[in-house]
Amino acid sequence: MPRDSRAHAGSLHECAVLYLSSLLAERSKVGWKLCAYLVVWVIVVTTSVAWGQDKKAPEADIPTRFLEKLRERGWNDVAIDYLEQAEDDPLTTQEFLADRDYHLAVTRAAMARQAVGENERQNLLQQAVEGFQKFAKEHSGSPQYISALSQVGNMLTEQALATLNKADRLPKEATAEQESLRASARENIEQAAAAVNQLLTSIDDQLSQLPRGAELQADKGAAALKQDLLAKQAEGRFLAANLKFEISRAYPIDAPERELALDTAAASFAKLRKDYENKLVGFYAVLYEGRCYQAAGELNKALKTFGELVNQPVGQADFRKLVSRAYRYRAECYLAEGEYYKAIEECSEWLNQASSDELKQPEWLAVEYQLATAYSAKASKDPGGEDASRLRTDARKLFREVTRHPSEFQDDARTALALSGNEDSSQVEVTGFADAFSAGKAALERMSSAQMAVNLAKDNNPEGVADIEDQVSASRQQAIDYLQQALPFIDEKISQDDAAAARYYLCWLYWDTGKSQQAAELGQLITDEHAETQYAPTAARVALGAYERLYLEAKQANAPDADVYADKLRSIAELIIERWNDTEAATNATELLISLAIQKNEFNEADRLLNELPEESRGAAGLSLGGSLWSQYLQKASKSPNQTIAQIEGLKNRAGKLLSAGYEAFAKSSDVTTAQAAAVLYYVQFLLASGDSAKAIEVLENPSIGPLSVIKRGGKDEKGRAFALEASKAALRSYVSVDPPRTDDAIAMMEQLEKITGDSPQASKQLTGIYVTLGLQLQDQIKQLTAAGEKAKAAGVAAAFSSLLERVAQRGDSKSWAVQNWLAQTSLQLGSGLSGKDADRYLSQAEDAYRKILAEIGKDPSFAPNELAALAVRKKLGETLQARGKFALAVEEYAKILQEKPNMLELQQDTAAALQAWGNVAKDQKTLEKSIHGMTPQANGKNLIWGWLQIAVVSDAAKRQALHPRGDTPPNQDSADKFQELYFAARYHVVETRFQAAKLSDVESRTKQLEAVRQNINALKQLYPDLGGADWQAKFEALLKEVNVLLKEAGK
C-alpha cells in the first residue's frame, strides 16, 4: 500500500475508533505532531547511520534469524511467545538469551506500533520502555546497549508528546487534570533525557578509547566505528536539545520554568547549529532554534531565524522540506502578529514555486493551511470589504485541498470547512467498490470534522451547535449508506486492507448507532476473514461488545435467544484470548468469560479462567467471582441448614480468599463499578461472618471504594438504595460488634438506615425486620464471646447492642407480637449471658417486655397467635424472674401454667429447678424439700408442682411406655432415651437437693440425710450399674465422694 493511502486509512481508522469509548484517544493531530518529531528524527538520523538498527551481523544465529523471520511476517505475537520460552529452543544460544530482554522490548515496540487501541498502544510502549531500561541497566557491555538507550529516549519522548497533546485537548477548566498530565509528561521527558545523557556518556567513553591519528587511519574497523559513533553522537545531541524544547510544553504558558526551558533549548540548538554548520543536522537546529523563539513569543527573533533558512539556496528534496517548514512557521508568526498580507505574500510565493507532487506533501500542505487561514482571517477582519467574498472562497478552496491529503492540518482544515458550513456532501454515483468506499470515507471524515466543530462551536458559536450536530447526523447516515453499498462489491480484486477497512468502518458505525446485531456480525466477519489486518483486534472487541449488549438485552427481556448470544459471546471472547492472548482485550474477554461462567454457576470453570488471567488483572474478576461464591455460600447456608459445615466451609473460605485478594488489588483504586462495589460489600459481610469487625470497618470506610464512600456518591435509583441499605446494615453491625464498640457511629448508621427505608408503614416494618435480624446475629456473637470466656467483650457488644434495642422499642411497629417477643427474648438472653448489674439491666428489660406482652394478651387474647404461644411467654417470664432471683414470683408464674397444663414435664422440671435454686439461695430446707417432693396439693390429692421425685417416676413410666407401647404403635427408642435422660437428671437432682439440704441441717440430721443420699445412690447403682451413662455416672460418683468425705468427718 502506498504510504499516503495507508496513512490516510490509518488516520480515518483512528478517527473512527475514537468513538469507541476508551478504546482509543484521538490520533490525528497528535499523530502528526509525533510524526513531525519522528520525521525530524529520521532525517537527522539518515545523515549518518541509522541507530536502533545496528548493522545486521553477517551470520546471525538461528534464534535471531528465526525471530527476524517472525517479525518480517508481522507475527509479533508469536515472537513474544518464542522469546518467553526461548531456552526451550534446542538451537538457542547464551548470547541470544542474554539479549532476550532487548528482543522482547523491540518486539513489544513493534506491536505497539501495530496496535489500534491507544490504551493498548501505550501499555505496550510502556512495557517496551521498561524492557529497554532493564536491558540497558543489566547489559552495559552489550553491543545493543546504545541502541537500547536510544530506544528508551525516543519512546519516552513519544509517550511524553502523546500525553502533552492529551493535556492540550482537555477543556480549559480541567486545570488539575492538565497539570497531572503535564507532570507525567515532564517525568517521561526527564527520564528520556537521562537515557540520552547516559548514551552520550557511553559514546564519549567509546570514542576516547579509539586510536588516533595514523593508527586510526590504519585501522579501518576503528575508523568506521568512529564514524558510526560520531553520527550517533550528533543524533543524541539533537535529541537532548529537542527534549529541552519539548519539556517547555509541559508547563503552563506563563510559568517561569517554561521560559527557562525554551531559553535552554534555544541555546542548545544554537550550539548545535554552530557545531554542525552546513550539515542537515545544523540546519534543523536552526529551525528548532526558531521554534524556541516562536514558542517564547519572541516573534521577530523567530522570523529572523526562520529567515536564515528561507534565504538558503534550495534544491535538494530534503532541504526543500526543511525550508517549507520554515515558511510555515514564519506564516504562523505573521498570523500571530496580525500581518496577514505578509503571510499571504510569502506563502503564495513559496507555493507557486512548488511542484505538483510537493503540494501534496505535509510540509507544503501546512503552508497551504496557513495561507487559507490568512485568507480567512483577512476576510473576517473586513467582512464587508470588496475582497472578503473572494478571500473566503479562496480559503475554502485551500482548506478543501488540505483535507484531501494526510497532514498535521487535515482535521483542522475539515473543521474549518465544517464551521464555514460549506462542506461538499453532494451525492456520489456509485459504480463500484472504489466509489462507494471513497464516498463513505469522505462522509466519515465530514462527520468527524463536524463533531470536532461541535466542540469548538460550544465555546465560540453556541447558536450554531444544533446545525453542526445535524451535519454530524447527516454525514453519519451518508457514511453508512455508502459503506453499505461498497460491501457487496468486495471480491478478491479488492485489497485485504481496503475490504477490512470498509467493513470495519461500517461495523463501528453500526455499533455507534446501536445496531448491535449488524455490528456483531460484521465484527465477527472481519475477525475471521481479515485476521491479519490491523482492524481485526478492534473489530473483535466491537463484536464482543455488541454480543454482550445483545446478550444483556435478551437476558433482561427473558428472551430465549439469550443463550445463543451467550454462546456467541463466549466464542468471540475465546478467540480474542487465543489470538491476542497478551493484550488488554484478552484480559477483558477472560473477565467476560468468568462472568458468564459465574452466571451459569460454573464456578470451577470461572476459577480456572481466573488463574489464566495475568496476576495483575485478577483483582476485578477475583472480586466478582468471590462475590458470587459468597452469595452462593449464603444461599446454601440458609437453604440447607442440615448441610455439614465442611461442605460449605470450603465455599466460604474460597470466597473469602478471592474477595480479600480482589479487595487488596482494588484498595488503592480511585473508583469501582457497581458490581465491584457489591463485591466489596460481600467482603465486608464475609469479614463480619468471620468475626473480623475491625477489618470490616476498614473496608467499609475505605475512602475510594469502601461501601460507605460509594453510598455518598452513589445513585438514587432502586439499585443504589438497595446497596445503601445493605452497606448501612453491615456498617451498623460492624460498629456494634467492634472492640470497643463505636456507639456513636452505630447510632448514626441507624439514622441513616431510617432515612434510607423511609417512613411508610411498610418501610418501618422492613426496618424492624432488619433490626431483628441484626439482633439475632449479635446475640450469636455475644454467645460466642461468652462461651470463649471473653465476658468483657461480650458486655461491650451488649452495651452497644442496647442502643439497637432501644431504637426498636421506640419504633411504632414495636407493638407487634414478633417484635415484642424478640425484644423480650433478646434482653433475656443478653442478661443470661452476663452477670451482676449488667445482667440485671437486661433481665429487667426482659421482665417488663414479657409482662407487657401478657398484659396485651389480657386485654386481647387474640394478640397471641395461639394459646401455647401465650403459655410460652408466661414460662419465659418465669425464667426471667428466676434469673433475677425472684423465685417466688417465678414459681407463681410456672404454677399458673401448670394449672392449665399440669403434665408439661419440661415445665415441671423448670419449676423443680426454680424451687431448688430458691432453696439454696434462701438456705431454706423446706423449699429444698418442695423441690424434691413437690407442692400445692390438688383436689385429687396430687401436687400441682410435682418435684424431682415425681418427675423421675413419670419419666421412668414414660420411658417404659415408649419402649413398650400399647397396640400396634412401634417402640420409640429416641423418646425412651430422652425420658431416661430426664429420669437420671431428676434422680440426680433429688440426691443433690438432699445433699444441699443436709449441709443446711444440724449435725445429726445432716448425717442421716447424707446416709440417705449414699443409700439412694447405691440403690440406684444396683438398679442401673452404669447410672445412666458416663456423664451422669461421673456426677453421681463425684457427689458420692463428697458425701463420703462428710460422713467420714462425721465418723461414719
Partner 1 sequence: MSSLTRISLAVVIVSFSTVALHAQATDRVQRESGIDSGQITAVTPLGVRISKGGVTSKIPAEEIESIQYAEEPPELNSVRTQYRRGRYDTAAERLQKIDRTKVTRPEVIQDLDFYTAACNSNLALAGKGDLKKSINEIGSFLSGQRTSYHVPAAIELHGDLYRAAGDLDLARKKYETLAKAPSPYYKSRSALLIAQLLQEQGNHTEALAQFEGSLLAAGTNTLADGMKKEATLGRAVSLAATDKVGEGITVIRQVIQQTPLNDTEALAQGYNALGDCLLAAGNKRGAREAFLHVDLLFNVSSSEHAKALARLTDLWKTLRQPTRAQDAQQRLSDEYPLSRWAR
Choices 317-325, 357-365, 527-535, 907-915; region in contact with partner 1 by CB under 8 A: 527-535
Residue number with CB closer to partner 1 (88 or 616):
88
Q: Which of 85, 380, 773, 973 binds partner 1 (CB under 8 A)?
A: 85
What are the grid coordinates assigned to 375, written together?
Answer: 485568507
Choices 87-95, 188-196, 796-804, 833-841; region in contact with partner 1 by CB under 8 A: 87-95
- Note whether 82 binds partner 1 by CB under 8 A: yes
Distance CA 925, CA 998 (A): 8
Strand-pairing partners, residue 544, are none
What are the grid coordinates assigned to 60, written together?
Answer: 546471525
Q: Which of 29, 89, 484, 553 binds partner 1 (CB under 8 A)?
A: 89
CA distances 450 to 31, 97, 147, 366, 983, Å, are 20, 52, 43, 21, 94
| Backbone φ and ψ of 591, nearest 5° | -60, -40
Tally Cβ neighbours within 10 Å of residue 641: 7
CA distances 318 to 465, 488, 879, Å, are 43, 43, 103
Residue number with CB closer to partner 1 (78 or 552):
78
Residue number with CB closer to partner 1 (86 or 261):
86
Binding mask 48-77 for partner 1 (x = CB under 8 A): --------------x--xx--xx--x-x--
Pick out residues in 669-688 that bind partner 1 (CB under 8 A). none
Residue number with CB closer to partner 1 (235 or 582):
582
Residue number with CB closer to partner 1 (532 or 739):
532
Residue number with CB closer to partner 1 (48 or 533):
533
- Asked if 536 contacts 507 with a C-beta cutoff of 8 angstroms, the reply is no
- The closest of 664, 712, 710 to 687, measured between CA atoms, is 664
Element (H, E) at 378: helix 362-381
Residue number with CB closer to partner 1 (62 or 174):
62
Task: Describe the crossing of helices 220-248 and 175-208 by its angle, rounded to 10 degrees.
Answer: 160
Q: Which residue has the cell 544460544?
A: 93
- Note whether 525 binds partner 1 by CB under 8 A: no
Q: Is the peptide bond before 740 cis (omega within 30 degrees of 0)?
A: yes
Distance CA 725, CA 731 (A): 10
DSSP letter at 54 equals P
- The closest of 570, 662, 575 to 615, measured between CA atoms, is 662
- The closest of 236, 238, 235, 257 to 248, measured between CA atoms, is 257
- Note whether 637 binds partner 1 by CB under 8 A: no
Distance CA 117, CA 14 (A): 8
Residue number with CB closer to partner 1 (428 or 531):
531
CB of 655 to partner 1, least distance (A): 31
Residue number with CB closer to partner 1 (166 or 530):
530
Distance CA 776, CA 779 (A): 5
CB of 451 to partner 1, least distance (A): 33
Q: Which residue has the cell 473566503?
A: 392
- Asked if 565 contacts 577 with a C-beta cutoff of 8 angstroms, the reply is no
- Note whether 90 binds partner 1 by CB under 8 A: yes
CB of 543 to partner 1, least distance (A): 13
Cβ burial of 265 (10 Å; 0-12, 13-18, 19+) is buried
CB of 111 to partner 1, least distance (A): 16
CA distances 329 to 112, 278, 928, Å, are 31, 21, 113
- The closest of 565, 638, 556, 635 to 601, measured between CA atoms, is 635
Binding mask 885-924 for partner 1 (x = CB under 8 A): ----------------------------------------
Residue number with CB closer to partner 1 (529 or 981):
529
Residue number with CB closer to partner 1 (66 or 369):
66
CB of 532 to partner 1, least distance (A): 5
CB of 164 to partner 1, least distance (A): 38
- Asked if 636 contacts 643 with a C-beta cutoff of 8 angstroms, the reply is yes
CB of 550 to partner 1, least distance (A): 21
Cβ burial of 788 (10 Å; 0-12, 13-18, 19+) is exposed
CB of 597 to partner 1, least distance (A): 19
Residue number with CB closer to partner 1 (88 or 1049):
88
Residue number with CB closer to partner 1 (115 or 292):
115
- Note whether 567 binds partner 1 by CB under 8 A: no
Binding mask 570-609 for partner 1 (x = CB under 8 A): ----xx--xx------------------------------
Pick out residues in 529-558 that bind partner 1 (CB under 8 A). 529-532
Secondary structure (DSSP) of 147-174: HHHHHHHHHHHHHHHHHHHHHHHS-TT-
Distance CA 448, CA 437 (A): 16
| Backbone φ and ψ of 399, nearest 5° | -55, -45
Q: Which of 204, 318, 349, 528 binds partner 1 (CB under 8 A)?
A: 528
CB of 578 to partner 1, least distance (A): 4
Distance CA 588, CA 577 (A): 9
CB of 533 to partner 1, least distance (A): 9
Residues in contact with partner 1, counted by CB under 8 A, come to a total of: 24
DSSP SS3 for 944: strand
CB of 57 to partner 1, least distance (A): 15
CB of 59 to partner 1, least distance (A): 10
Choices 123-131, 419-427, 525-533, 637-645; region in contact with partner 1 by CB under 8 A: 525-533
Binding mask 325-364 for partner 1 (x = CB under 8 A): ----------------------------------------
DSSP letter at 969 equals P
| Residues in touch with partner 1 (CB under 8 A) | 62, 65-66, 69-70, 73, 75, 78, 81-82, 85, 88-91, 528-532, 574-575, 578-579
